[in-house]
Structure 1
Amino acid sequence: MAKGSRTDRSKESSKQEMAAPEHTALLLKCYTKLKDFTTLEEFLKTTPPQQYDHATAIEVLESAAYHGLAAEVAQKVGRFDDYVRISLEQFKNCSTTVEFLRSLSKAEAGRILLRMGRMLMRHAPKETIALVRHVTDGAAEDFQGPSIDELLPVFVDDPSQLEVFLRSVLLDEGCQLPHAKAESLFPTLLELLVKSHSIASDASEASRISADIMRLIRQYPSDAALANTLMVCQTYGFVDGFFYAAEKLHRHQLLMHWCFEHKDARRLLEVCKRCGPDQSLWVQALSFLASPESGGGHLEEIQEVLRHIEDSDLMPLLLVIETLRHSEEVTIGDVRPYLQAQYKRLVDALATSRGKSSQALGSVFGTWGCTWGILGLQGCPSVFAEFSRLKGGFIGSKTYTALLCEFSLSV
């Protein structure tokens, strides 16, 4: 009888314009202790929400394990955060919850996503990604919802889903964001893609991701974006992106050092060819390829560099010979075409100034004498004897030019 009287008094108190929290708690606790579910349900359905304290009602119902009633009250009184939380924690109604959030304003749905999105993402990632796209999609001038940046914490527990989401925003369907906003998201997606490339399970997957990365990089050609590309690709070892960004930023020496460090002769020549006016790169390339640090086995590349040096007249002959002297594998036969071409150039120069033949011939002998000394050809009797015969004088009907040409054939 006492319990009934107390319940009646609490019920009367609840009929006032707004019951105090303690009155609401007392009344609902009485109902729950009596296990009078029907009366409790009727009270919640028939009593106007303004006549009881909402937060207290939800708390009491949850503590008594009346989760369904608590969710109904939360939805009825507009406490949507509590409704979503109860739906996810107690009923795992992910699809229903997503649809409910879609029915709210984008600003309200975004606010709730910031609180509950991580849980929703764990249980329904595909639906949650679609919801995030929905609440962040809107015209810039009148959009009231959250920005993509604001909702990125939703993905903090699942970077793979963040990659899927940012792909859908920046790559898959064509980017609809303002360029400045898209560029601010670009480094995040780039890092995720490069990480995925580094752990790709097979060559086919790696090739597909690589193509996506390069397509993404080319969409953002500003210096700031390229600087981000350079840093990310260098950090995670994505070589194609690193080379693309460094070349666009004219960081040629960075590329050269990479080739030196990795002993990559093929890419070294590509850098020299693609980096245009900076002819000093070819000189550096020859010096590296001829050095023991290159690891050897680069005769073909050395010959290609020599052809370019010859065509562009980049280095004096003696400097080339001095550089090649450091190689343990380059022989006179390997560079014969280059030496013959240089010799012919000297001969042609002499032929145009016959009046200065003695002086010019002495210059030629001096140059080639130094060359043989550097190459150590004194130990080659046949070649050195021919050189000595030529140097000893040009006799009979042979001109010095003919003798020089004859000698060049013996080189």
Structure 2
Amino acid sequence: MANSRGNRRRFGSVRQLPSGRWQIRYPDPVTGLMRPGEETYPTKTDADVALTLIEADIKREQWTDPDAGKVKFGDFADKWLKERKLEDTTRERYEGVLRLHIKPTFGGRFLSDITPARVRTWRTRLLEAEVGEPTVVKAYQLLRSILTTAVDDELIKRNPCRIKGADTYDVPDRPVLTLQEIYAVAEAIQPQWRALVLLTAFTALRLGELAALRRRDVDLEARILWVRRNQAELSSGKLITKAPKSRAGFRPVAFPDLIVPDLVHHLERHAAKGQDSLFFVGPRGGRLRRSNFRDDWTAAKAKAGLPAEVHFHDVRHFGNDLAARNGANLRELMARMGHSTFRAALIYQHRSNDRDRAIADRMGEAARKELGKDDPPDASGTPVARPE
């Protein structure tokens, strides 16, 4: 039974327990009912100080109900995901990161029990388990975002994710392919993918953007293609065709006359029929997928003598580098890549395409000289016949 010796105060009360420790009680600012402190104290002075701090928090409207954080992180994270408008691919990625890297440690813990020390230990253990640094960074960013919402909901006072530099990582330099390597792999790959390699190299489009490209999106006379949609593939194999994430992603991109014969040849021999049909199709006439392109790409890399660590994304990297080396400024590069801000994208879309075409012309001229090609093809873009 508690010691009857109490201490009446202007705010709350302090009393000594049979154990010798001191307990505080104070009026709940919401209900007005007296509630005990979350812990006991070794001395009366410690208890008085704790009560004074609580009173100050209530007056500054910074008091947080200690019981508010008694929500399991796993339940809160599931609710957090459910209430957010996310693209299917993003939602799937978040679910995977939560399931594999966050919930095993924090899923069963109360929000109030997740401390900066526990976050540091969790991150260190992921790195020690040789989870890739990019994955650890993404897991940390997701955990921080969820706990930021918990702070906004006044379930916890402060976000425990406070590790300096934990939300970034140094991206290793990717290999920059040469023009000869681009053409070597284009020659080595299956004929139906030659145009895919060259178009990626000279427009820097993403594979998903090229997979969603239609015949009517490619204007050979103006040498412009329009990015109007993107294809995404879930881990289940389901394909999703969607509009670009932002207005900046919906864009025209010019390409040099150097590759017009290859595109004409592709349209005649490999593209699906009909103006609204796909420009690139899979080996059996279906959709282009990473899975039905990957083996051919790997074989072509080996045949062309490219290092095994070269990714198809590095072909896009080559295109951006080539554009930069031939006069594209930052705004023009961002416009071609679809990474510009909304305002920059509008400026790009409302201005003349002459500047973009000039960039593409210089790219083609530089490539033609390096390859020792003849003069540009005539306006009809008639290709030279290719053996299949």
Same fold (TM over 0.5): no
Relative contact order: is structure 1 or structure 2 higher (C-alpha 8 Å, sep ≥ 6)? 2
TM-score range, shorter chain: under 0.3
- Structure number with higher strand proportion: 2
Higher helix fraction: Structure 1 or Structure 2?
1
Q: If you compute each CA radius of gyration, which structure gives the higher value, 1 or 2?
A: 1
TM-score by length of 1: 0.24
